[in-house]
Amino acid sequence: MITVTKINDRDIIVNCDLIELIESTPDTTITTTTGKKIILRDSVDQVLEKVVAYKGRINRVKAAE
């Protein structure tokens, strides 16, 4: 799960496994596998960095087990 900031400055937590698309139109928009769209203040690059960091933490935990 990653924390992102919606266009109205509210922080929300998103399950990054449900992200289907990330678009810059010009606002960053996440489309989930359920079809929900979330408009963000975060840039596409920021969202990608958060997803990569989260996945890295998960993989390190699994490797340590």
Concatenated DSSP letters for 8-41?
Answer: TS-EEEE-GGGEEEEEESSSEEEEETTS-EEEES
Which two tokens mark 44?
Answer: 């596409």
Over residues 17-54, the pLDDT tens digits come to 999 999 998 999 999 999 999 999 999 999 999 999 99
Tell me the pTM.
0.87
pLDDT value of residue 58: 86
CB count in 10 Å sphere of residue 40: 20
pLDDT for 64 equals 74
